[in-house]
Amino acid sequence: MRWNSDRVSLREELKAEVTASDRFSSVTSWLHRRLPKFLKWIPETAIGFAMISMTGFLIDIGILTLLHGAAHMWYPLAVTLGYGTSSVVNFFLNRWLNFQMHGNIGRQSGRQLVVVISNYVIWILGFSTVLEVLGVQYQAARLISACAEGLYLYVMMRLWVFPRREQLELVSSEHRPELGVAETGTADQ
């Protein structure tokens, strides 16, 4: 009986050590391994980004539908509120689960703000409004613009907001021992 309870506690201990970001990474790796050979060039983080972006897009389109479709709010304002909400959710989910970044959230969120504003002006407000003015149904206009914005956002997040070099610097600094008093030469004697 004792052996069985030890096995259960060990199993619980192992489960406790696996984080949500580890599980997310396992899923994206599993999906990446199942891609056909001609698509293996796609990074695992692009798969994770697509999964998170779908969640964000559902938040975005849901708010747009509620505010513009049901409440008849002015289209650009409804787009802004939906996009703003989903952008915040996407940033934190990508930071935590997909790119697994830590460190300077101020710099990362500042960069993300620049990306979000430029994306908003170019693709969300600009392109989707032009499509809606041309007679494309508002949800379809938002869906079409989402395709262009998805590629833009992934590239900007991967290369500028969460660059791999910052990830590598963080990992190497976590494994670097701290300098002691004798090593710094600043001992108070």
Residues 24, 25, 29, 32, CA torsion sign: positive
pLDDT of residue 183: 43
Q: Which residues contact 52 (CB under 8 A, 6 or more apart)?
A: 90, 93, 94, 97, 98
Written as six digits, the tokens of 98 are 């997909």
Q: Tell me the pLDDT of the chain averaged across its residues.
A: 83
d(CA 189, CA 183): 14
**Percentage with pLDDT > 70 across the chain:** 79
**Percentage with pLDDT > 90 across the chain:** 59
Is the pLDDT at 5 greater than 60? The verdict is no
Mean pLDDT of all residues in 23-40: 95
16 versus 155: which is more confidently predicted? 155
14 versus 36: which is more confidently predicted? 36
Task: Say if residues 145 and 128 touch (Cβ distance below 8 Å).
Answer: yes
pLDDT of residue 177: 44
What pTM was computed for the model? Answer: 0.71
Convert the pLDDT of each residue in 49-62 to its tens digit.
Answer: 999 999 998 999 99
Task: Say if residues 24 and 47 touch (Cβ distance below 8 Å).
Answer: no
Residue 33: CA count within 13 A, CB half-sphere: 6
d(CA 144, CA 131): 9
Report angle CA 155, 156, 158 to the nearest 5 degrees.
Answer: 65
Q: At 131, is the pLDDT very low, low, confident or very high (cuts 50, 70, 90)?
A: very high
Residue ranges of the domains in the chain?
19-164
d(CA 51, CA 63): 19
